[in-house]
Homo-oligomer: A and B are copies of this chain.
Amino acid sequence: MAPSKEVSIAVIGAGGVGSVFLQQLAHVANNRPSQIRLVYVAIVDKALYHTDYKHIEIATALSALEATGRPLPSIPQTIEYLSAAPGKVIVVDNTSSQQVAEAYPQFLRRGISVVTPNKKGFSGSWKLWQEIFDAEGTDGSMVYHECSVGAALPIIGPLKMLVETGDEVTRIEGVFSGTMSYLFNNFAPTEGSGGKWSDEVKKAKQLGYTEPDPRDDLNGLDVARKVTILARLSGLPVESPTSFPVQSLIPKELEGVDSGDEFLTKLSEYDDQMEAYKAAAEKEDRVVRYVGYVDMASKQAKVGLESFDKSHPIASLKGSDNIISIYTKRYGNLPLIVQGAGAGAAVTAMGVLGDVLKVLERIR
C-alpha cells in the first residue's frame, strides 16, 4: 500500500516535540525499512550529517548528534546539502524559530517539502505566507502544518478540504491555547468558584503549562497567530497577527517589568482586574473565557475575553483542551466542532508525523 520510493528526511530541532518525533519516526521507519533515510538532524548549535548521505540511525540520532555533531551549517549551506540528497527531501522543522520559518520559500523552491508545527511561517507577514505558497509545488514540493493550530487535532486539513470543495467559511470561533484553556477552566469553572487569577497563573507555570515567561502566553500573541492562520485559510488575507484587535491579559502596569519572575510576584496586586471580568459574567450566570474569532461577513478577526453560557461547549471545556467551531454554508447553524488536546509533545509529534506520512503518500 505504502509507496516505497526512498525519501531523505532532515529534522531541525530536538526539544520536547522534536525528540518525541524522532522516537515516533523510528517506530514508523521500522515498518518501512527502505523508504526513510534520515540525512540530517540539527539542534540549536550543531548538526549531524554525512557528506555521503549515509542513513543516520533514528533511534540513536540524538546521542550521536551529541557525541559527533558538527557546528551548525547556515541555512543556505543546509539547503545545498539537502538538494543533493537521495530521492525527494522533506525538512521537518520542530523549532519555533522565525529564521527557519523565513527559509521555507527557499526550501520549497529547491523541491524540498516542509512539514512543521512552527506557527511563525504561516502567522507572520502576509508576504511570507504568499512566498511560501507561491514556492510550494516547485518540483513537487509540499507544505504541511497541521500542528500549527491545535496540535494533531484535525483542523487545518479539514478546513482546506472545505474550501477546496467549494464550501464557504462564515465564522470560526474557539479556544486555541491550552494554557488559556487551563487558566480559565480553573479560574472560572462552570461549577464551584475557582481560584485567584494570579494563583492560577503560578500553578500553570509550575505545571509547565506556560511559556518560561508566562507573559508570552498572556499577551495573546499565540492565539492571534493561530487565528491568523485560520483566517487566511478561510480566505481572509490578514496582514499579520498584530493587525487586528488582540486583548492582552498583562496588566498595563506590569508591561515594563523586567523578568517573568518579577511579573509573577507582582501579578496578585492586579487580581481585581480579572476578578471584575469574572464577576460581570457570573451576574448573568455565565463564565469568562479567552477566545479567538474569525468572522468572514465582517472580514474581521478578534482575540480576547468573552462570556459564555455555562452550557456552551466553550464554557464546559476541560483541562487544557482546545475547541474549534467552524461554521460554513454547508454546515449551516450547527458548526463542525473539533475538541481535544491542542498541545503536548506526544500529540504534537504525532501530528507532525501524520503530515510526514501524507507527504510520503504523495511523493512521486
Q: Bound complex: CA of A341 vs CA of B337, how far in Å?
A: 10
The residues of A with any CB-CB pair to B shorter than 8 Å are 1, 24, 27-28, 133, 136-137, 152-154, 157-158, 161-162, 164-167, 190, 311, 313, 316, 318-319, 321, 330-341, 346-347, 350, 353-354, 357, 361-362, 364
Q: Bound complex: CA of A321 vs CA of B334, how far in Å?
A: 8
Given known A311-B316, A316-B311, A340-B337, contact A24–B332 (CB-CB < 8 A)? no
Q: Which residues of B contact A24 (CB under 8 A)?
A: 165-166
Q: Which residues of B contact A346 (CB under 8 A)?
A: 330
Q: Bound complex: CA of A190 vs CA of B337, how far in Å?
A: 20
Q: Which residues of B contact A165 (CB under 8 A)?
A: 24, 28, 350, 353-354, 357
Query: How many identical subunits does the complex contain?
Result: 2
Pair A336/B340 contact, Cβ less than 8 Å: yes
Name A329's closest neighbour in chain B (CB-CB).
B346
Q: Which residues of B contact A350 (CB under 8 A)?
A: 161-162, 165-167, 330
Name A356's closest neighbour in chain B (CB-CB).
B165
Q: Which residues of B contact A364 (CB under 8 A)?
A: 364
Q: Bound complex: CA of A331 vs CA of B190, how far in Å?
A: 23
Pair A158/B164 contact, Cβ less than 8 Å: no
Q: In angstroms, how far is the closest chain B Cβ from the Cβ of A18?
A: 15
Pair A1/B137 contact, Cβ less than 8 Å: yes
